[in-house]
Amino acid sequence: MSTHPTTPAQTVGPYLHIGLPWPDGPFAVAEGTPGAVWLRGTVHDGAGAIVTDALVETWQADPEGRFDHPDDPRGARSLPGFRGFGRCPTDASGSYGILTLKPGPVPGPTGDQAPHVDISVFARGMLHRVVTRLYFPEEEAANAADPVLGSIADPAARATLVARREEDGYRLDIRLQGENETVFFDI
């Protein structure tokens, strides 16, 4: 099979708000859905300043760990009202918020992965997206057995991927650079 070289990434630039935000972007489920939680956080740069022109996207399994996608070997399964995907530009306080359902554990090559949400961050000053994951603080046993968290040797680095519980959901701040820099993945 021949291999065709891929198209390079470029930055979203400062004007991403023209093209990318959707009115329903932050709502992976509709408001009022039973069990819905907010995933919130603030994006910071290497000087600790808030990043007010980023776009955060989330992708995740449903509460039973299933995906509505043909490449899932267990079969595609759609959960009505649940998109699995969220998209939110950061606001004047550098914050994003996605309303969703907590995912279930997802099978991996060596057993289950802990419930997680894949996150992409795009912004001016970033020539390519960065990718991280959000894990849930109450899943201590599952997190301890998770192959991705387990591949991060430094406990402080690992902790940058575990959200904090809040009244109506979870908080994961994202630090692009410097002290407590978020773990980003080679995807």
Partner 1 sequence: MSTDSGLHVPGYVRDHDTHPPLDYPGYKSTALRHPKRPLTLLPHMLTEITSPVLGQDRLGAHDHDLTRQHDDEPQGQRIIVHGQVRDSDGRPVPHTLVEIWQANAAGRYLHTSDNWPAPLDPNFTGVGRVITDAGGRYRFVTVRPGAYPWKNHRNAWRPAHIHFSLFGRAFTQRLVTQMYFPDDPLFFQDPMWQSVPDEKARERMLARFDHDTTEPEWALAYRWDIVLRGHEQTPFESEEEVLEDDE
Buried/exposed code over 37-72 (b: 16+ C-beta within 10 A; e: otherwise):
bebbbbbbbeeeebbebbbbbbbbbbeebbbeeeee
Q: Please tell me whether residue 185 binds partner 1 under the rule CB under 8 A.
A: yes
The full DSSP string for 156-180 is HHHHTTBPEEETTEEE--EE-SSTT
Q: Please tell me whether residue 59 binds partner 1 under the rule CB under 8 A.
A: yes
Q: Please tell me whether residue 108 binds partner 1 under the rule CB under 8 A.
A: yes
By CB under 5 A, the count of residues binding Fe ion is 1
**Which partner, partner 1, Fe ion, none, binds residue 177 by CB below 5 to 8 Å per kind?**
partner 1
**Which partner, Fe ion, partner 1, none, binds residue 141 by CB below 5 to 8 Å per kind?**
none
Nearer residue to partner 1 within complex by CB, 40 or 160: 160
Q: Report the amino acid identity of residue 122.
A: F
Q: Please tell me whether residue 74 binds partner 1 under the rule CB under 8 A.
A: yes
The values of phi and psi at residue 119, to 5°, are: -125, 135
CB of 69 to partner 1, least distance (A): 4
